[in-house]
Structure formats: structure tokens, C-alpha cells
Structure 1
Amino acid sequence: MKLTEITEGRTKLFVPKEEKLLKSNEVFYNPEMELSRDISVAITNVLEPETFCDLLAGSGARGVRIANETNARVTINDLNPKACELARENLNRNGVSADVRNSGANLLLAGARFDYIDIDPFGPPVRFLDSAVRAVNSGGLLAVTATDTGALCGTYLSACQRKYDAVPLRTDYYNELGLRVLIASVARTAMRFGFGIKPLFSHCSAHYFRTYVQVLGRSANVKGTLENIGYLQHCFGCMGRKYAKLGEIESVCSCGERFRNAGPVWRGGFAEEDFCAKMKEELESGTFGKKKKALKLAGLVEKEQTANLPFYDVHKACKKLGASSTSMDGILTGLKSGGFEAERTHFSGVGVRTDAGIDELKKVIRIRK
């Protein structure tokens, strides 16, 4: 295996020198996930967990960085013995220590407990969620990545049904819907074991979804989590959308077209504003290769928590009305002057998140034609 030396954050790493990212690679390392690893380090320093588990470590880049750049006691695990050897080499390279395990992920979790468990698989995370929920300490964090975006976004309907027990829908905001299906899957797993969740930070970046959720005990937290699980009803006729609980689902939109339904989805906020602010402080003060990108992402996610309905694609709304595309700033100003919340979204450069309905948005677009 050919290795090359790189630097991420304050950590030097030997990583496989591969031309293509394949599951079959001798040891898996994805340079495109540096942003995700930067955010993990920042979040760990904000929360200050005593113990951290890099469950599916691959090259061990995330776990080695956590060991080197935070105060957490780290466990690095992978089923591939060569990956474990490389992780140990990288720990030694940086003069830090961690408990390196060569075990199946679910087997490891069956006999251990952690404050922060990171699940970053090649594909869907669902087969690890039961074990992770039982192994994380109450009040601890689960960080969950899903790279099977085709299933979550509605390209492969049956795959989403099989893996996430949910129906996706290919809408203008398919990426947000995919993230909400993922969070709902984590939440439903937690509730089966008597826990609730609180998403502290979630995002969609490039080829993956990522959510960081706090796992909480007590019946009040479970009840609050249940209240945030529902279905998304979308009208392809007028572009309207709304959330509904089971038993409250309507068949027909106010425009006369039939609704299409997706879910179960998470209908609450997918981040906490105060937590995003703390993240930004940590990112600003630390050494991160993707600092600028991470700060922009955290800022957008923070601001868009003002409304929970999925964002509107402004260009497609203009096209629906036969109007020429108008500026995003003009749309935001028009909505805010009408008394509505309105912000850009990290999901799309032409998306606006607002608590205004589709009719109010159309009025603003018509005025600014």
C-alpha cells in the first residue's frame, strides 16, 4: 500500500495514495471529508466529551485528529487489520495515544459505552443505529453520516423503504427531505429504546448527509421527539408544502391538486442556533484546513433555523409563474417587509427558507417581476 503524508488541522497523517475512492481500497481514506472532520473536531471541543468512538475508522483520520486536537479519550475501531495498523502509525506520528480496536462495529458497541459515537459508513448507517443508541451515554452525542443519497433523495424509492422504513419524494428540495428522513430514522431508533433526540447540527454537503444529535433520557424528551416526527405533503401543482401528523394527512391541496406524501420525516429544527454560534467561535479560533467553508456552513445553518418548512427554489417558483428570475436579496427583502421570516439556505444557492406560504411567496415574486 502506497502512502502519502498530508496535514489536516494540527495533525499529520499518512494516508493511502489512491486515484479512486472505492470501497474495495486496501484502506479507505476520503480527502473530500476533511470538512466533516474539521467540524467533528470543533464540535468535540465545544461539547468536551470524556470519551469518543470512531466506530468505522478506515484510515483513522477522524479518530487520530480527535486524539491530537481535543482532550477526549479516543477509541478507534475498524474491521480491517491494515486500517488499524495505519491508525496506530498515525497516532505514533503525532505523539498521542488511543485505544485501537480491530472489531465488528456492533460487537464493539455491545460491550462499551461512550459520550460521543461517530458513525461514518460507506453507505447507509442504519445497521449500526440500534447498537449506537444503546451504547451512547444519556446526554451524549451520535454523529451519523449517510452517503446513500440516491435512496434518501427519492431516486431509488424501494431502497429508502427497505433501509429507512420511509417513503422519499423527488421534490425541488429533495436534499433537505433526505436529511429529514435520516434524522427521523435516528429519532425513531432512539425512541424504541426510551430515548429522545435533539439535533445540534445537521447539514448536506456534496455527496453525503450528516447529523449530530444529542441522545436524551426522560419521557418528556421522548414525547418531544415524537412530536417532531411526521409526514411532508407536497403539491406538484402549486408548489405548496406542509407537515402533517399521522391521522391528519389530507388528500387534496387547496389548489385542487392531489398531495404527494413523504415520510416519516423530522419536521423540527435540524440544528440549535446557540450551538452553531459556539461552533463558529471554535472554528474561528482553531486551526482548520476548511475553516472558511465550515464557518460559512455553520452560519447558514444557524440562520435558517427560523422556519422549519422546506425551502423554496426561487428560480423554479419564478418559472412556474412565467416570471424572469429575480434577485435573492429582493425576495428576502420582500418577504421580511411582509412580516415573514426569510433566510438563505445551505441546501441551495437559489433557495429561500421562510415561514411564508407559497401564495405569499408568489405575491412577492409578482411584485418584483
Structure 2
Amino acid sequence: MDESNKEKIKEGTAEILSEGHVFYNPVQQFNRDLSICVLNAFSKQFQKELKSKKKPIVDNATDGEVNEIQVGVKSETGLKILEALSATGLRSIRYAKEVAGIKTIVANDFSIQAVESIKQNVKNNNVDHLVVPHMADAKILMYTSMSEDKRFNVIDLDPYGSPTRFLDSAVQSVSEGGLLLITATDMAVFSGSTPEACYVKYGSIPLKTKCCHEMAIRILLHTIESTANRYGKYIKPLLSVSADFYIRVFLRIFTGPYLCKQSSSKQSLVYQCTGCDTLTLQPLGTLKPNPTASNPNQVKFGIPTGPAVNTNCNHCQHRHHMGGPIWSAPIHDTEFLELLMATIQNESLKILHTYPRIIGMLSVIREELHDVPLYYAIGKMCSLLKLEMVPVLKFRSALLHANYRVSFSHACKQSLKTDAPADVLWDILRCWEKLHPVNKDRFLKGTALKAILEKEASVEYNLVDIHADANPDSRKKALVRFPENPAAHWGPGTRSTLMISDNKMLKSIRNQNKNKKLRNAESKLDNNQIKRQKTNEILSQD
């Protein structure tokens, strides 16, 4: 095989060769690094659960001693992993070389060129005892792996765009309690600009709101849960992140018809005021204790009364948009986060290129209020009322002094995630307006500004004293929480294209504002023609 025209790519402990027809995107190194951390933590949990079932963890069943799982060593009781859309095979090779406790990894792709590239890269990295290259349609491979002996403990779906076409087969071919790692890069669909497109793909209506990144996560989780429910299964999210241009969710799949019935109470419609952007959630179902049941843990399922809002907003008298349904239960698991934070202290993981960002993001996620769905953006609220920006520590302090909980969201730098009702937030801004008055000329009839600021605050909130807990540890330690894009044109790249070539980047630069440049060129050409025509007329008159 001629390797002279191939690009050499080194990432983590893996080194691969690839051509332009096989997709590789360096932008998603954080995605791969984080996945390696999660898989190491899940592998520990998987082995612990095997022990609890009294299944001895032995190699080749030749001795009765329990062997510690190791990186790069095949474990007969280890994880069976499927990377359904492997491309270059880089992710599978890195899993083999950087994740402990693996039995086998199937690196699958539908492209002949991609599979040939995977075979060569697997051989070059000496991981052919763990990684098995495979060529098939990902959906067909998963549909034919639904029997108990063929199911995978881990399925990684990282498609270009929406993952929805793979969900049905994935939830059926993952083992009981198995892990799904799913990426969605079609963030424009979640933004609320084309709600009809999002409904077609995900069965949910997004809203144009500052918390659109968390809403995107919750829409994806709703879609996965709905897919799983059809087969008597339900999801348990372990970690859900919004990063760069994509969202990534890590969740487990369990079987339980009774627990599936609780799904309606985990899904909610979202009402958004068209004037002040106030958000109100209404669950699709309710759970109440059943006093007549012999089992005290048994619940009674019900349907909520509604709607949860009046025809006009209580704060500014504008109407509402309605979106959803979205997943309104927690999107992270506290116990798994603690295990993950302990796992990434391992020396072998500290050398990851994006390790500082992983620590920063996980620290913010651990500080989040997991039982509070969605968030507000302080800048957006102040902009709506034409107010001078409230310092984030003062806003957080006002809520903490009033005995409410508050946190950031990892998805937004100016986020305000709190259990305080919306009228408390507006009252705090009314108190701030007294200290920093808004020009009365801005109090225009029919605006949300006039409706909100003309009301008196029901309580005077403390906007002077900084609360001791207002500044979270992740901020105090100056961790890498919300990093800027490391390069220009940071994005998902082009489908089936090697994303490390300078020519590709130059092409993207050339295509920026292409139509505008063409119009300007045509305008200049027309002006030059007019000038020449006038010159010719003057010369002919002479």
C-alpha cells in the first residue's frame, strides 16, 4: 500500500494514516478524550456489578483468582464495544490503547476505503487482538445483534448530523444496563429557527431561547427515551454535555415495563413568554403515592391539569409559545460523576490533550443544580429591560441571601440556573433598576420593559453584600470552564473529508461571503462599463 500520499495523524497514544476520502476531524478530540474518561469509569462500574452478581472475574476461567483489569490486555469479562461509524478507526484504536477492561471492539464502517484504512491502522498500532474491523450498514449490524449473546455492552454513535436513524437499532442491540454514547451535530435544528425540521427528526418543538443548548440535550434524551419505551426499556443519563458545535450524551439502557410507565412524568411541555422569555414547564404525567397499595413505594399515575400558564404572561401580559416535549428529569447522575472525577485522577488520563478542559467542564457540571431544568441568561434579561448588566456574583448573592439555590450551567457562561420562581428574578432586577435607573423614554406602551419595571418589587433583595457561596469553586480556581475556539472556522467540517489539510481550510475561507463578493464584483463591472460608455460618448462628440 502506497503511504506516500497519506496524512499521518497522532492523537493520544494512537497514530494513524489517512487519505482525504476518509473522515477525520481534529475538532472532536475533546469528544474522544471525554469518551475515554467515561469508558474507564464505566468499565470499573461494570466490573463491580459483575462481582455483585457473584460472577468471578477470571481470564480463560483457568484459575479462581480475580485479576485486575488492565489497559491493552484482553479481558474475557470486559466490555464488548461497537463503534458503529468508525471512519479512520482512530476512536476504536484509542479505546483499545487507553481504556482498561475491554474484551473486543468492533470498528464498523459502510465504506470499503474506510474499512481498508481501519485494517491498516489497527495493524500499525498493534491492537488487532482487541479491535475487529467490520464492513456493514450500521443499522443492519445492530439489528442482527439483538440476541442476548450478540449484544454489545457499549455502543458509540458519532454520526455526521442527526443520530435518530440509528436509535431504534441501538436501543435493541445494547445489553441490559449497557452504555450508549451518542453525538448530535445538527445544532441548527435545535435552535428554534426551523421547529418543523426538529419535529420531523426528533418529535419535539424547540424554542428560540438562550438555553437552547440545554434544550437540545433534553430534546435528544426525550427522543431516545421514547424510542426505548417502545421495547419496554428506559434510559438513565449519566452525563450530558454541550460542547463546541455538538451535544454528547452518555446513558444506560435498562428493561422495566413498570418503570417505563414513569416516563410521562419525566417529559414536559415548555411555555415561553413572547415578551419577557419567562419559561414554565408542565409535565405530561404525574406521580402520586398510592394510599391503597400494600407496597409503600407504589405510586399512582395521573394526568396533570393545565395549562400551567394563563393566556397572557403574569409578568408582561404577552402571549406564550409552546415547545417540547423535552426530557425534564436530571441529565447527569451524581454518583457516576463522583466515580468519573475519581477516575480521571489517574496518571494515564492526565496526559490527555484536553484534560484541563475535561476537569473544568466536569467541575461545573458537578456544581449544577441537577433537579432544575433549563436556565436563564443574565445578559438577555438585562438587555430586555435596557438595564446596566448585573454582575454575576451580585445576582447569585441576591438569590442565596433569599435562601434560593443557584448555579451555572456548563452550556452557557452567563447562565443562571435556580429554583427561584421567575417573579423573584424580575423582583431582583427591579431592585437593581432602583440603583441604576432606566431612562423613562424607554418605557414604551406594550413593551415587556414597561410592564415589568413599573411594578414595585414585592421584597427588597440584597444586591450589595456578596454571599460566601456566590463564587463557586470552579470559578475560584480559574478552571478552563468555557474555552474559546482554538482556531478559526471551528466546526463540524465537511462530510467524508480529511479535516487536517490546509487546502480545505483555505477553501472554507475563500467561500466565506461568496455571494456578497460576487455581487460586489458584478456591481464594479457595471460601474466600469458605464464609465467606458460615457468616455466613448465624449470622444465621439469631440
TM over 0.5: yes
Within-5 A mapping of 1:288-367: 288-367=352-431
* Cα distance in 2 between the residues matched to 1:299 and 1:284: 13
Residue 267 of structure 1 and its aligned partner are, at CA, apart by 0.6
Q: SS of 2:344's equivalent? A: helix
1:38 to 16, 33, 37: 33
Q: Are the counterparts in 1 of residues 187 and 216 from structure 2 also a CA contact under 8 Å?
A: yes
Deviating more after overlay: 98-107 vs 221-230: 221-230
Q: Are the counterparts in 2 of residues 124 and 147 from structure 1 also a CA contact under 8 Å?
A: yes
Provide Cα deviations, 1:193-216, integer angstroms capped at 9, x if missing partner: 110111100111111111111111
Residue 307 of structure 1 and its aligned partner are, at CA, apart by 3.8
* Cα distance in 2 between the residues matched to 1:271 and 1:13: 34
- Stretches of structure 1 lacking an aligned partner (at least 5 in a row): 17-24
One-letter amino acid of the structure 1 residue matched with residue 196 of structure 2 = S
Provide Cα deviations, 1:322-365, integer angstroms capped at 9, x if missing partner: 32112212222221221111111111111111111222122333
1:96 to 127, 133, 139: 127
TM-score computed with the length of structure 1 as normaliser: 0.92
1:219 to 257, 260, 263: 257
Find the counterpart in structure 2 of residue 192 from structure 1: 230
Q: SS of 1:176's equivalent? A: helix
Q: 1:129 to 1:275 in 2, by over 3 A?
A: same
Find the counterpart in structure 1 of residue 340 from structure 2: 279
Find the counterpart in structure 1 of residue 85 from structure 2: 56
1:82 aligns with 2:140: no
Residue 99 of structure 1 and its aligned partner are, at CA, apart by 1.4
Q: SS of 1:340's equivalent? A: coil
TM-score computed with the length of structure 2 as normaliser: 0.64
Find the counterpart in structure 1 of residue 154 from structure 2: 116
Find the counterpart in structure 2 of residue 165 from structure 1: 203
Residue 221 of structure 1 and its aligned partner are, at CA, apart by 2.9
Q: SS of 1:199's equivalent? A: strand
* Cα distance in 2 between the residues matched to 1:55 and 1:32: 20
Residue 28 of structure 1 and its aligned partner are, at CA, apart by 0.7
1:3 aligns with 2:32: no
Give the alignment's Cα RMSD to 1 decimal.
Answer: 1.8
Q: Are the counterparts in 1 of residues 369 and 418 from structure 2 also a CA contact under 8 Å?
A: no
Residue 304 of structure 1 and its aligned partner are, at CA, apart by 1.3
Q: 1:8 to 1:283 in 2, by over 3 A?
A: farther
Q: 1:207 to 1:155 in 2, by over 3 A?
A: same
Find the counterpart in structure 1 of residue 272 from structure 2: 234
Residue 56 of structure 1 and its aligned partner are, at CA, apart by 0.8
Find the counterpart in structure 1 of residue 325 from structure 2: 264
Q: Are the counterparts in 2 of residues 200 and 213 from structure 1 also a CA contact under 8 Å?
A: yes
One-letter amino acid of the structure 1 residue matched with residue 344 of structure 2 = L
Q: 1:360 to 1:52 in 2, by over 3 A?
A: same
Find the counterpart in structure 2 of residue 69 from structure 1: 98
* Cα distance in 2 between the residues matched to 1:346 and 1:141: 22
Q: Are the counterparts in 2 of residues 202 and 270 from structure 1 also a CA contact under 8 Å?
A: yes
Find the counterpart in structure 2 of residue 21 from structure 1: none
Q: Are the counterparts in 1 of residues 106 and 132 from structure 2 also a CA contact under 8 Å?
A: yes
Find the counterpart in structure 2 of residue 12 from structure 1: 15
Deviating more after overlay: 229-238 vs 219-228: 219-228
Q: SS of 2:368's equivalent? A: helix
Q: SS of 1:284's equivalent? A: coil
Q: 1:31 to 1:358 in 2, by over 3 A?
A: same
- Stretches of structure 2 lacking an aligned partner (at least 5 in a row): 47-78, 146-150, 285-303, 437-542
Residue 133 of structure 1 and its aligned partner are, at CA, apart by 0.5
Find the counterpart in structure 2 of residue 22 from structure 1: none
One-letter amino acid of the structure 2 residue matched with residue 42 of structure 1 = C
* Cα distance in 2 between the residues matched to 1:304 and 1:226: 24
* Cα distance in 1 between the residues matched to 2:314 and 2:168: 40
* Cα distance in 1 between the residues matched to 2:342 and 2:18: 29
Q: Are the counterparts in 2 of residues 232 and 243 from structure 1 also a CA contact under 8 Å?
A: yes
* Cα distance in 2 between the residues matched to 1:127 and 1:366: 48
Q: Percent identity?
A: 27
Q: Are the counterparts in 1 of residues 369 and 406 from structure 2 also a CA contact under 8 Å?
A: no
* Cα distance in 1 between the residues matched to 2:319 and 2:24: 46
* Cα distance in 2 between the residues matched to 1:116 and 1:133: 11
Q: SS of 1:305's equivalent? A: coil
Residue 234 of structure 1 and its aligned partner are, at CA, apart by 1.1
Q: Are the counterparts in 1 of residues 264 and 283 from structure 2 also a CA contact under 8 Å?
A: no
One-letter amino acid of the structure 1 residue matched with residue 359 of structure 2 = L
